[in-house]
Structure 1
Amino acid sequence: MSVLRTALLQSSGRPGDPAAQLAALGDAARRAADAGARLLVCPELFLTGYALDEDLHRLAEPADGPSARAVARTARETGVAIAYGYPERDGEQVYNAVQFVPADSAPATTYRKAHLYGDYERRWFTPGTDTVVQARLDGLTVGLMVCYDVEFPEFVRAHALAGTDLLLVPTAQLHPYEFVAESLVPVRAFENQMYLAYVNRTGPEGEWDFVGRSCLAGPDGTARARAGRAEELLLADVDTDLLAAGRDRNPYLADRRPELYGALTGRA
C-alpha cells in the first residue's frame, strides 16, 4: 500500500490581491508539509479572486510569470506539489487555468478550462481545447480540470480511460448548487474508479455566494473527507489499495460498449 496525503485549501482569501494570496498559499503549503502532505490543491482562480470583471485581465499572467515562479519556490522549499487556479495570459487571450507545480523543480503542467460557465466566464475567458492533461506525482497519474468541467461525464470518463488516478478540480461552486459537491462529485469518482479532489471557494464574493463543501471523493463513491462552509485546510489520503480494490470490483470501464455510443459525438 502507498498513501498520498493531500491537502485541500478551501478559501477565497483576499480577491484582487495576488501578493496576499501567494502569502496564504505559502502558509498553507507549510502547514500541509507539517501534516505530512505531499500535495496542496487550491480553488479556482485562487491567485486573483473570481468576481473581478476586467481586473481578471489586468491581473492575468503567463504560465511562467512571476507568480508561477513564486509558487514554484514555495513548492521546492516545502517539498509539497501545488495545484492552484489563476487567470493565464497567452498573447491577447486569457484562460481560466490551473497549474500543477511539482516540488522537485520539474516543469509545471497547465490546463485551461474547456467548459466555461455562464455569460460571466464566456465574457472574460477563452475556452481551452485540451481534453486530458496529466502529470505524475509519487507514482500516481494526476489529472487536471476546472469546476464546471467535472459536470460533463464524458470529460471525466476521458480521464479514466487515459489512466488518471487522482483528478484535481479547483472550483468556484455556487449556491444553490451544493448538490454538485455533495452528490455528483462522489458519483463521478465511483463511476470512473478514481480519486477526485474537489476544492472550492467559500463565502460571498461580488454577486455570488460560494458554498465550500470541498471534498476528496474516493473510488468507492464516498467522501473520504469533507469540509463545511468555513475556510479550512482539509487533509485526506489517496490510498492505492482502495484504488486497486475499487477497480477490481467495479466493471464499468471493462463493460463499456463504445461501438454503441457514436450518437454522443454525432458519429452514429
Structure 2
Amino acid sequence: MITRRSRATWQGAVGLAAVALLVTACSNGSGGTAATGASAATSGVTINVALPADPPPQAALDQFTKDTGIKVTWSNSDWDSLQTKISAAATAKTYFADVTNVDWSRAGQLGKLGWFLPLETYLDANALKSDMPQLGSFTLDGHVIGVPYDSSYMVTTVNTDLFAKAGITTMPTTMDDYTNDLKQIKDKGVVQYPLNIPFAAAEGLSTYWYETTQAFGGTILDAKGKPQFTDPGSAGYKAAQWMVDAVKNGLVPPGNINVNDSQ
C-alpha cells in the first residue's frame, strides 16, 4: 500500500491498493450517535480499519459518523506486518478487521484463497468502472476482491544539498549518471553510504527490483507471465546485479541486508 510504504525507486510507476471487507460482518459497537444519513443497519455500528496509512483528519471521520452512524476505529501498521496479520487471522479463521488492505501485488492470491467477502454483492461494481478503471486489477473470476483507494507514484527522492556538496548540479537522467553521482558523493566524503535499498526478504526489496528493472528498460515478466530476468543481458538481471554491486561497493549500508522498507 503503497501509500503502502515509502519506497525509493528510480522511475515512476503506478501502484494500486484497495480496501476490502474481511470475512466478518461489521462489529457491533456501543456509543454510536444519531446520524443524519444513518439507517437502522448502520447507526451505532463500529468498524475496525487496519491500513498501512495514517487515518484521515478527525473531522472527516466525524463527518462520516454523522452521515452514516458508523464509528471508525483506525489502526496503522506497516505493510509487511499487516500482510502477516491478515494471513494469520484468515488461516486461523478468526476476526481481524472489517476493512483492510488488498495490495495490487496480492489481489490474485487473496482472491484465490477466498479470504475476502466478494464486494460486488455490496456495491454496484459496474457503476464504479468509469471512475475506477483499475477495478479490473482487483477482480478475479468475476468477484471484486478490493476497491482501489490509492494511486501511488513511485519516484526517486534525493537530498539535493548532499548532491551540491559533492559538486553535482544536474540531476541524473540515466542509470550510469545515477551510479556515478552516488560514487562521487561517497568518494568526496559527503556521505559514507549514499544509497538506501531495503534488502530484507520482503515486499520493499521486490518493488525496488521491479522499478530498477524498469529503469534499465525492461520488465520482470512478459505479457504471458514468462520470466524476463534470467539472461545476463536482460534488464531484470542487470537490475539485480546493480543492486548487489551497490552493497559490495559500499554505496548501501551493509546493515541494510536485514532492513525492510518501513524501517
TM over 0.5: no
TM range (shorter): under 0.3
**Larger Rg, first or second structure (1 or 2):** 2
Q: What is the TM-score with the length of structure 1 in the denominator?
A: 0.25
The two structures have a TM-score, normalised by structure 2, of 0.26
